Structure 1
């Protein structure tokens, strides 16, 4: 665990909503889908899957923003409207946290990228694995195991 330099702290742009991470990410990702492009106002969104037990909001009260969907709950700061994390229903054991909300995220690199079939032609990442859409559910176990062994770390 020492290689992860945990715990990590982070928060929204204005600092009203704060969180803490005490468990390493299961996977880091970039999504090129047009929905993420619109939500992030960028060419892709970045995320890291953090085990539910390793993530907690420490200040502020997140609100649902972005897509108001029964399955995806995009959590935002009610004051500055920053997209901070996403929860999926039914729960899958993790929270998707926007790495740019960490106080120190310079180490972040996406391990996989998804929806490259919707990527802008100039939008490239250094992801090790690329998928036209999402990986097949049966592929995630191997991707998570490989990330645990070889994925980017703070200071690495």
Structure 2
């Protein structure tokens, strides 16, 4: 695992919506929940959480999709790429779909969530696994462990 070179930019499949982050990720994860499986049309979704104040859309505008009010998933209105999520209960962060970054060489998932619903053939090498989403008591230590694994001072 390594931190990305900053600033880090990315965009949707068609290129009409672009974004930038100016701080390193808080944590990297993949999610096996049925919602992520269906929205990504894959076995799981990959993401990196960044501080909300270090994230900006620099081109275009997104539209809400997925669960909209419950969990605001942002999509490109043209190609419908699922781009990022702003979880209301975690308003200090933005969860960006990792494959959308221009440079993905730095990305490796540190934790997997909803392992209880992962497809039977999926085997990941994530250091941490949770049957559901980590509880509030788990998130602080998990984020600290991610930083420590990257050699960041806590």
For normalisation by structure 2, the TM-score amounts to: 0.92
Does 2:118 align with 1:119?
yes
Deviations 1:20-65 (A, max 9, x none): 0101110100110111100100000111111011110000010011
How do 1:105-116 and structure 2 match up within 5 A?
105-116=104-115
CA contact (8 A) 1:11 1:102 kept: yes
Are the aligned partners of 2:4 and 2:106 in contact in 1 as well (CA < 8 Å)? Answer: no
8 A Cα contact 1:109 1:126, kept in partner = no
Name the SS for the 2:126 alignment partner: coil
Q: Write the deviation string for residues 73-126 of structure 1: whole angstroms up to 9, x where unpaired.
A: 100000000000001225520000001000011321110001111000111221
Structure 1 residue 151: deviation in Å? 4.2
CA distance in 2, matches of 1:103, 1:92: 25
Residue 85 of structure 2: aligned partner: 86
Q: Distance in 2 between matches of 1:43 and 1:86?
A: 18
Aligned counterpart, 1:23: 23
The question of whether the paired residues in 2 share the 8 Å contact of 1:8 and 1:102 is answered with yes
Of residues 32-41 and 105-114 in structure 1, the stretch that sits farther from structure 2 once superposed is 105-114
The root-mean-square deviation of aligned C-alpha atoms, in Å, is 1.5
List runs of 5+ in structure 2 lacking aligned partners.
none
For structure 1, list consecutive stretches of 5 or more residues without a partner in the other structure.
none
Superposition misfits of 4+ residues, deviation over 3 angstroms: none
Closer/same/farther in 2, CA of residues 54 and 15 from structure 1, 3 Å limit: same
Q: How high is the TM-score relative to the length of structure 1? A: 0.90
Q: How many residues align?
A: 149
